[in-house]
Amino acid sequence: MQVTTIGLDLAKNVFQVHGIDEHGEVAFNRALRRGQVLAFFERLEPCLIGIEACGTSHHWARELIKLGHNVKLIAPAYVKPYVKRGKSDAVDAAAICEAVTRPTMRFVEVKPPEQQAILAVHRTRDLIVRQRTQTINMLRAQLAEFGIVLPRGVYHALQFAKDCMNGEQPGLPKDAEEVVFDLCDQLLFLHSKILHLSRHMTQIAKREKRVALLRTIPGVGPITASAIVATVGSGKQFNNGREFAAWLGLTPLNKSSGGKERLGHISKMGDQYIRRLLVLGMTSRIRSIRSEPEKFDPWFADILSRKPSRVAAIAMANKTARMIWAVLIRNEPYKVRTV
């Protein structure tokens, strides 16, 4: 019996494998402990293996590829339609096995360890940024209870924390002062970690060729460029720039029917982190474009004259995403269009 296709449902300790033979018959559907997985696949002839793109999936894909298997990663949303009634590991493994054989299925590119290392830096920085925001919100809330209102913005909170750590007393009861002191100390610590990771990203941008190419695109800095390279890689999994923009959730929802085209708001179904970075980058460019429109692409100035700032920033992010795909595919720097 020659097993041709396997669906592998990953978990923390107990994995489920569902295999079919060349005749489409179920060969096995069994559970494996973590330590049994590689030994099990070593005994099999090379075959097609489908795995949901989730935590640890890239690691297991690399390990199985080393054994000679053809491994395909599938987004969980594309596996769900193949799940039959009920929900269990065995059913999920069977659905993955079915989905991986579909000729129109879209797959996720397996990331090498170096690419995932860059992504780990981004995820850690994003976590600490959110923790800093939480700390600032708590600090402002505690001070507001005593009539002290901090202006909005990270700068003012950091300045207050520095003053507090330098000995300036806000005039609070002793117990409250201790709490505020701890929050200020935590805030400054988190901010220093963010600066350290930002410098780390800048160093990554200097040594990665594709990051350097993306930085030639206006509005794309080292953090955005390295995040895209770490997540997308070569970009060859997308057929065109619009597919990449749609994957980021920057294209409008299409609800057309009966020959009538109905486009809604952006889907927001893609990578939230990269989408946020692109929108923030375009938002920062809007002020410069408004003050000196002659120095920028006329398209940007035109969209700003017709649309609200927020809508214009989304449109600019969509256009920039297409530029990013073109730069990755052509492997050459962005060239400013001359009119």
| Total number of residues shown for the chain | 339
Note the maximum CA span of the chain: 80
User: CA 88, CA 311: separation in Å to the nearest integer?
Assistant: 43
Question: Is the predicted pLDDT of residue 100 greater than 80, yes or no?
Answer: yes
Residue 339 has pLDDT above 50, yes or no: no
CA gap 70, 50 in Å, rounded = 9
> Is the CA virtual torsion 174, 179, 180, 181 positive or negative?
positive
Q: Whose structure tokens read 């990665």?
A: 208
Is residue 338 pLDDT above 60, yes or no?
Answer: no
Mean pLDDT across 300-323: 86
Pairing of strands 26-33, 14-21: antiparallel
What contacts 128, CB < 8 A, 6 or more positions away? 190, 193, 194, 197
Question: For position 337, what pLDDT does the model report?
Answer: 62
pLDDT in tens, 186-231: 999 999 999 999 999 888 888 888 888 999 988 888 889 999 998 8
Other CB atoms within 10 A of residue 36 CB: 14
What does the pLDDT average to over 10-27?
A: 92
Give the pLDDT confidence of 118-136 residue by residue, as tens digits: 999 999 999 999 999 999 9
Confidence of residue 36 (pLDDT cuts 50, 70, 90): very high
| pLDDT for the residue 236 | 86
Of the CA atoms within 13 Å of residue 173, those in its CB half-sphere come to 6
More confident residue, 217 or 261: 217
Beta strand 263-266 with 252-254 is antiparallel
Beta bridge partners of 9: 16
**Model pLDDT, residue 197:** 94
Mean pLDDT of 237-248: 89
Q: pLDDT category, 85, cuts 50, 70, 90?
A: confident
Burial of 141 (0-12, 13-18, 19+ CB in 10 A): exposed
User: Rounded to the nearest 10 degrees, how much is the dihedral formed by the CA atoms of 121, 123, 126, 130?
Assistant: -130
Closest by CA position to 228, among listed 323, 132, 100, 87: 323
Kindly report the pTM of this predicted structure: 0.82
Position 1 scores a pLDDT of 64
Of residues 85 and 82, more confidence is placed in 82
pLDDT in the model for residue 308: 86
Q: Which parts of 233-308 fold into alpha helices (H)?
A: 241-247, 272-291, 298-306
Q: What is the pLDDT of residues 262-307, one digit of tens each?
A: 777 788 787 889 999 999 888 888 877 777 776 677 777 788 878 8
Q: What is d(CA 141, CA 153) in angstroms, rounded to the nearest whole number?
A: 14
Look at residue 144 in the predicted model and tell me its pLDDT. 92
CATH code of the domain made up of 3-99? 3.30.420.140
Contact 287, 216 (CB under 8 A): no
- Rounded to an integer, the average pLDDT of 245-271 is 79
